[in-house]
Amino acid sequence: MPATPLAETPMPVARPSRAEAEAAVRTLLAWAGDDPSREGLLDTPARVAKAYEEFFAGYRIDPVSVLERTFAETEGYDEIVLLKDIRLESYCEHHMVPIIGVAHVAYLPEHRVVGISKLARVVEAYAKRLQIQEKLTAQIANTIEAVLRPRGVAVIIESEHQCMTTRGVHQHGASMVTSRMLGAFRDDPNTRRELLALLGKG
């Protein structure tokens, strides 16, 4: 089976200066109806710019390089490797509000394994960008498949979208589930059932 192409990297754009970013926040504060010069808001533009550096740190992480250090000393281990309940914080690209949930990442090693923290790091690299959940799920799975070349990859994400809970239809408690199954997880029903059983969903 040919490797799935890696997720597209956003085209580089001219990054505004910190001062320009803070000025934009002041404009939004005024547009919202408040006074950016009042005491409680004086430092808000700087705080928001600093927070955005953390919220969108994924643009500065290369997910491929995260996965490139692998280990061959596995004593022939070729069963499912599953990292469950990876805390996920992302941001809706339509409204720029949080997407909060968990990701479950599994793969079937061919010859090599990767440190489990690297799987969580790949999730973080793609999550800390402006996203839709369907694309996020595919990006994580496609990158793991392309770099590790395992016999199968599965990514399941369960999350709550605050663009739906805090605005619009105001549906609190509704969660969205997406999955991407590649290789044996897509082609072999028994392997897929085993994964779902490990997740408590079988």
Cite the active site residues.
92-95, 133, 161, 163
92 is in an annotated binding site: yes
d(CA 32, CA 98): 19
Six-digit token pair at 108?
């079937």
Q: Is 163 annotated as a binding residue?
A: yes
Cβ(91)–Cβ(130) under 8 Å? yes
What is the spatial distance between Cα 34 and Cα 181, in angstroms, rounded to a whole number? 48
CA 32 distance to own-chain centroid: 30
Closest CA to 196 of 150, 168, 154: 154
Burial of residue 5, with CB atoms counted within 10 A of its CB: 0-12 exposed, 13-18 middle, 19 or more buried: exposed
**Residue 170 is labelled as binding a ligand:** no
Q: How far apart are CA 106 and CA 101, in angstroms?
A: 17
* Amino acid residing at 180: R
Q: Which residue has the tokens 């710019």?
A: 49
Residue 199 CB partners (closer than 8 Å, separation 6+): 82, 84, 104, 156
Q: List the Cα angle 108/82/148 in 5-degree steps.
A: 40
Residues belonging to the binding site are 92, 95, 163
Residues belonging to the binding site for Zn(2+) are 92, 95, 163
